Structure 1
């Protein structure tokens, strides 16, 4: 029984380690973390974040955009997005919360 718990703990730790790399984007030598939230009942809609925005707005936008593309492909089979507040807006119009750029929109079904 101890062996099963130890194996489970090791597998959980390895899974957690690998996930961090999927959420990290390197831009101009700096590392940026991204995250995405969507409701289970509506996977097409999302709120994605990337940061730290204080290091680079462009790097933060790319980290969030990367999460969006991965999410849309995984759940809807396409990387097409209808942005509400996207990475192409002017920097002054970006939504920034807690040192992270916030992007919103919907994945477009093929």
Structure 2
């Protein structure tokens, strides 16, 4: 839980570094999104990449999109991820050159 709080704090600080609607992570811009079925918005998949620009930045962008998604639809940043939150960044789930985070917004 402590690591999740630190990640969210870091995301908030990183968000202030963006230009306009784009947000920079670790000095790079990443293509990132969070998607969920319309009838089950609490269950989402957040992706970001390319990892080749930097895995830490891609992971931060994916966590940021996950957090934005849950705040938009549920008014909370409480998320239960499908993986152990203590997982090292380089071991997070991937699909090719993208980080893939599956989770559920907690009401």
Q: Size of the alignment, in residue pairs?
A: 88
Aligned-residue CA RMSD in angstroms? Answer: 1.8
* Structure 1 contact 51–100 (Cα < 8 Å) conserved: yes
**Greater RCO, CA 8 A, separation 6+:** 2
Give the TM-score taking structure 2 as reference length. Answer: 0.72
Instruction: State the alpha-carbon separation in 2 of the partners of residues 105 and 27 from structure 1.
Output: 21
Name the residue aligned to 1:40: 38
Moved over 6 A (4+): none
1:52-87: CA deviation from partner (whole Å, max 9, x where unpaired): 111111100111111111110111110110011366
Structure 1 or 2: more strand by fraction: 1
Q: What is the SS of the residue equivalent to 1:41?
A: helix
Asked if 1:53 is matched to 2:55, the reply is: no
Please say which structure displays the higher CA radius of gyration: 1
TM-fit CA distance, 1:92: 4.4
Give the TM-score taking structure 1 as reference length. Answer: 0.71
Q: What are the ranges of 5 or more consecutive residues in structure 1 without an aligned counterpart? A: 1-20
